[in-house]
Amino acid sequence: MGRPERPVDSTGEAVAEFARGLRALRAAAGSPTYRRMAQSALFSSSVLSSAASGHRLPTLQVTLAFVAACQGDASAWEQRWHRVAGTVDASQSLTLLRHRQAREKAAQVGMPLGLALAPPAQLPRRPREFWMVHQRAIQLVNEAATDALPMLISGPMGVGKTHLAVRLAHDLSPAMPDGQLYADFGEAGHEPRSADGILTGFLTALCGGHRLPGDPGQRAALYRSLLATRRILVLLDNVVDERQVRPFLTDSSGSALIIASRSPLLGLSDVHRQGLTHLPRTGSLELLHGVLGRRALDESNACDRLADACGDLPLALDVAARRLKSRPHWSIGQVVSRICNTGGFLDWLCIGDISVRARLLGAYEGLTRPTRDIVHDLGHCATADGDIVVTPRLLEVHPLMAEEILEELTQVGMLRRRASGNSYRIDPLTRLFLREHRPAGVGERVR
């Protein structure tokens, strides 16, 4: 027996009566402990106890969880809650409908009624609009998103894959009333999260983690079953390979899957692919103007030099623009000249927890050692503008292997393919980075 509850706070008459009703419901259910109720309600025992205290009206979700844990009539308590709250509008009615449908679906798969009350809403914050300068890509992904195929957004480090994917996810989310799921598989160069671990997290968000099968294959089957009867948006970020995606592929025509990856993941069939690359110079200047406003127009030549130093990479331009915005008394031209003449550009391209060097390091550490040696060799033989004409003899490997290596370096952003077939460019930031991480002896075999 737990200790007796404190008397209901009778300050607010309607709220106090509501709390007494919850206590009566709990007593009729055999007075289960709040700790026991919390095991099925997805709210802590303190939250449930506070709901029946009378201090304030609990939220609708907490109320329905409390009622479900006591096997009460959810519909009757929904109406009672709204009478006390004094507000019922169209959005709340839609919420009630979704909650009711979620409970019915939970019951269909044998789960407690209190498990599926709140549709998951896991999307990151919608990105700022000035990042969205890939205008043609935005148009294409919005057009492709009208059918049921998964959408894959690929491209090298720092070009804005995640931002475009998150924007698209927010655009589609109003049509997905059963929720949004999000997972980040981790940056390249770090230990990636497992697909099964993320799948288990999704199932927990959808049904509270109760009665989950122990076998990974059965968990994937349960996931497909749940999405077959719901309209859910799923966003997978920083995907490394196809194996991470396959458990999340379903035949649900009502749900949507968005994938962001450096790789085009050619092993996946029936997928819409949209590749991103570095910005055109007009897009770079638009990004700088979006942050710096009039300063960018007044120093257009300096902004052009800054865009060139950043290799038109959105991530680098964004960091540079935010640093300049925080110092309105700085001259853009003087800053660019000082950085270009004295070095330290990669040190400067860091703000808070966002570091261009760290992103480059993650891409670099994801390469095999032979591929690292080759990119150092290519950087050694590049022209002053970073241009390279690549031949199999230059790489000293079989032509087919050379093509694979070049494709890998292009995908991670260490190389950029020019219009002509065997012409590439190493951007200024990559060359600065390679200079820092150049192993002893590398480059000596290239003549």
Q: Go through the domains of the chain in sequence order and give each one's CATH number.
A: 13-108 (1.10.260), 129-275 (3.40.50.300), 281-352 (no CATH), 358-436 (1.10.10.10)
Tell me how far apart the alpha carbons of residues 188 and 346 are, in angstroms, rounded to a whole number: 19
Cα–chain-centroid distance for residue 447?
A: 44
pLDDT of residue 167: 85
Locate tokens 């991480």: which residue?
Answer: 437
- Can you give the three-state secondary structure of 37-70, one letter per residue? HHHHHCCCHHHHHHHCCCCCCCCHHHHHHHHHHC
Residues of the chain with pLDDT under 50: 1, 87-95, 112-116, 130, 188-189, 443-447
DSSP 99-143: HHHHHHHHHHTT--TTSSSS--B-PPPPPPGGG---HHHHHHHHH
Tell me how far apart the alpha carbons of residues 330 and 345 are, in angstroms, rounded to a whole number: 16
Tell me how far apart the alpha carbons of residues 429 and 164 are, in angstroms, rounded to a whole number: 23
DSSP 318-338: HHHHHHHHT-TTS-HHHHHHH
pLDDT of residue 153: 92
Token representation of residue 287? 């990004």
Angle at 393 between CA 390 and CA 398, to 5 degrees: 100
Angle at 355 between CA 166 and CA 133, to 5 degrees: 40
pLDDT of residue 1: 44
pLDDT digits (tens, 9 = 90+) for 386-400: 677 766 566 676 767
355 burial type by CB count under 10 A (0-12 exposed, 13-18 middle, 19+ buried): middle
Which pTM value belongs to this model? 0.70
